[in-house]
């Protein structure tokens, strides 16, 4: 129902009824020195038509770009039906299920979401979401430390984990006496250096395993998982959920992937030694987290997104947040209830597994509808198309003089290229042509100055790829032909 504000006569009648001269009198208990007076920086109100015109103008200032930028947030096609359904009143305005009076419809949707995520990751149980992928990793670290009966407060984290995820995890755990130890990567392959991992002395509660990692490279998860378990560490998988439509799930390798087998699936680029078909060791990962943004959530200038977490049944009481379960009532009718509520709103703070987690209900609703609409084969088709487009993009870009691929191994839908010109200048020139050319890796990895992380999803056409390659070749050729600058002393 639209909001209709009170008219001036309505306000005057109400004030007369309660016997006060004006609305300011209703707030006379506020000290004068705390009253800011007017709002000089706020313009006068506009009509609806004028506001619409203003906002269209503001939106146009953003421009329209062909994006080859990934690095943790990805442009995917979202069927119109997803948000048409999500914006129905029973979903869009429903309160998140903190309390027992949450509707059966909301609880059932979360139950279906948990079932889908458990199937996608191959693990036993899923919670009802977290803030985002970064905070999900931080919660997984806390969870692993709580589960460690020896009281070890140390976790190994590869340098190939998303830098923002690592920063959030450090901020979350640093004041709790938990040490995050960085594991170097092999500069030739872009994957975690197994020898460097073996050389790290001492015990740890867990090993974090990204798949794919921040460079887009597929990690040797089989070897990493077995190494973690051999040293009595939990294995924490950090995954792109869309990639799991192609790759084996982090859970037990004996469990099949959610994806329907493709009759003639193309190999992931570079697949072979340590390629995409590998499992997760003899036992599989213990905890799996990630960001659900690729599952029907728009980019939205960086958020909001949602984090997911799945784990083995033995760790269920260490999981943060809420879990919805299916049950029957006294009449034998099926129903849904919050079966685990290990959050400070539900239990004593000293017993809570987390004081900061939340259920991103609206985004989870979108992801659940998105997965239901696409189905297993649809998710796999999107993943295959994204991977194929990235392979085609690399072929075009690496044919340009001055451009080369950095890491030769298997990847999903991101890869690293090196250009022979300053990356900030190249990306700025591409942006001027309406192209977001990728992510400057030198921002987070000084040794990767000159490298760009590029991404292509199913949304890119052959014309998009050709336009990117054409503009990059033009930019690099102009920089090669430019005369050296002459400096005067």
354 shares its domain with 471: no
Mean pLDDT in consecutive groups of 10 residues from the start of the chain, 489 residues: 75 94 89 82 86 90 91 96 91 64 82 96 93 95 94 97 97 94 97 97 97 97 96 98 96 51 46 52 96 96 92 92 88 88 59 69 94 96 97 97 95 97 97 97 96 97 97 89 43
312 shares its domain with 182: yes
Last residue of a domain, one of 318, 341, 374: 374
Whether residue 16 is contained in a domain is answered as no
d(CA 202, CA 240): 30
Q: Which residues contact 200 (CB under 8 A, 6 or more apart)?
A: 156, 181, 183
The parent domain of residue 447 ranges over 66-76+375-479
Which CATH number covers residue 444? 3.90.1150.10
Last residue of a domain, one of 328, 356, 374: 374
Whether residue 261 is contained in a domain is answered as yes
d(CA 210, CA 219): 7
- Secondary structure in 3-state letters for the chain: CCCCCCCHHHHHHHHHHHCCCCHHHHHCCCCHHHCCCCCCCCCCCCCHHHHHHHHHHHHHHHCCCEECCCCCCCCCCCCHHHHHHHCCHHHHCCCCCCCCCCCHHHHHHHHHHHHHHHHHHCCCEECCCECCHHHHHHHHHHHHHHHCCCCCCEEEEECCCCHHHHHHHHHHHHHHCCEEEEECECCCCCCECHHHHHHCCCCCCEEEEEECCCCCECCCHHHHHHHHHHCCCEEEEEECCCHHHCCCCCCCCCCCCCCCCCCCCCCCCCCCCCCCCCCCCCCCCCEEEEECCCCCCCCHHHCCCCEEEEECHHHHHHCCCEEEEEEECCCCCEEEEEEEECECCCCCHHHCCECCCCCCHHHHHHHHHHHHHHHHHHHHHHHHHHHHHHHHHHHHHCCCCCEEECCCCCECCEEEEEECCCHHHHHHHHHHCCEECCEEHHHCCHHHCCEEEEECCCCCCHHHHHHHHHHHHHHHHHHHHCCCCCCCC
Total domain count for the chain? 2
CB contact burial 159-181 (16+ within 10 A = b; e otherwise):
bbbbbbbbebbeebbeeeebebe
* Per-residue CA distances from 137 to 145, 166, 182, 191, 336 (Å): 13, 8, 15, 19, 28
431 shares its domain with 353: no
Whether residue 14 is contained in a domain is answered as no
Query: Residue 64 has what pLDDT?
Result: 86
341 shares its domain with 419: no
Whether residue 59 is contained in a domain is answered as no
d(CA 482, CA 337): 68
Query: Residue 363 has what pLDDT?
Result: 94
318 shares its domain with 404: no
Which CATH number covers residue 123? 3.40.640.10
369 shares its domain with 388: no
* Per-residue CA distances from 39 to 22, 33, 36, 44 (Å): 18, 15, 8, 10
404 shares its domain with 348: no
321 shares its domain with 402: no
Whether residue 178 is contained in a domain is answered as yes
322 shares its domain with 444: no
Whether residue 51 is contained in a domain is answered as no
Query: Residue 254 has what pLDDT?
Result: 38
115 shares its domain with 135: yes
Query: Residue 489 has what pLDDT?
Result: 31
Last residue of a domain, one of 312, 345, 374: 374
d(CA 145, CA 143): 5
Query: Residue 343 has what pLDDT?
Result: 57
116 shares its domain with 254: yes
Whether residue 38 is contained in a domain is answered as no
Whether residue 1 is contained in a domain is answered as no
351 shares its domain with 460: no
């Amino acid at each position: 129902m639209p909001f209709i504000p009170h008219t001036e006569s309505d306000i005057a009648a109400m004030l007369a009824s309660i016997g006060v001269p004006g609305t300011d009198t209703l707030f006379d208990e506020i000290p004068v020195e705390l009253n800011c007076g007017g709002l000089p920086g706020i313009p006068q109100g506009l009509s609806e038509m004028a506001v619409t015109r203003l906002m269209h103008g503001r939106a146009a200032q953003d421009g329209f770009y062909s994006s080859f930028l990934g690095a943790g947030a990805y442009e995917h096609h979202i069927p119109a039906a997803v948000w048409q359904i999500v914006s129905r009143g029973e979903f869009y305005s429903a309160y998140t299920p903190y309390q027992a009076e949450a509707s059966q419809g909301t609880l059932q949707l979360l139950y279906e979401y948990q079932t889908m995520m458990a199937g996608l990751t191959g693990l036993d149980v899923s919670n009802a979401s977290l803030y985002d992928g970064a905070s999900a990793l931080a919660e997984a670290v806390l969870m692993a430390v709580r589960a460690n009966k020896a009281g070890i407060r140390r976790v190994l984290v590869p340098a190939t984990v998303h830098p923002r995820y690592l920063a959030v995890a450090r901020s979350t755990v640093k004041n709790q006496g938990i040490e995050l130890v960085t594991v170097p990567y092999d500069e030739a392959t872009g994957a975690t250096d197994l020898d460097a991992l073996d050389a790290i002395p001492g015990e740890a509660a867990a090993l974090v395993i990204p798949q794919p990692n921040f460079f887009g490279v597929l990690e040797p998860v089989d070897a990493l998982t077995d190494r973690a378990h051999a040293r009595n560490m939990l294995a924490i998988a950090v995954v792109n959920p869309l990639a799991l439509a192609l790759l084996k799930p982090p859970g037990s390798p004996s469990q099949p992937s959610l994806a329907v087998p493709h009759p003639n699936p193309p190999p992931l680029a570079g697949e072979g030694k340590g390629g995409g078909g590998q499992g997760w060791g003899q036992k599989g990962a213990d905890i799996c987290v990630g960001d659900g943004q690729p599952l029907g959530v728009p980019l939205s200038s960086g958020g909001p997104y949602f984090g997911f977490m799945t784990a083995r049944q033995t760790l269920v009481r260490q999981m943060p947040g809420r879990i919805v379960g299916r049950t029957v009532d006294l009449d034998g009718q099926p129903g849904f209830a919050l079966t685990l509520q290990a959050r400070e709103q539900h239990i004593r703070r000293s017993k809570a597994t987390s004081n900061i987690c939340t259920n991103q209900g609206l985004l989870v609703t979108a992801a659940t509808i998105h997965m239901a609409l696409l189905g297993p084969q649809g998710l796999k088709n999107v993943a295959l198309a994204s991977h194929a487009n990235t392979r085609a993009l690399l072929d075009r870009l690496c044919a340009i003089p001055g451009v080369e691929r950095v890491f030769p191994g298997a990847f999903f839908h991101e890869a690293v290229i090196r250009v022979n010109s300053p990356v900030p200048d190249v990306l700025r020139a591409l942006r001027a042509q309406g192209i977001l050319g990728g992510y400057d890796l030198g921002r987070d990895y000084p040794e990767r100055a000159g490298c760009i992380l590029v991404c292509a999803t199913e949304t890119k056409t052959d014309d998009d790829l050709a336009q990117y390659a054409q503009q990059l070749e033009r930019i690099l050729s102009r920089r090669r032909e430019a005369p050296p600058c002459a400096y005067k002393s």
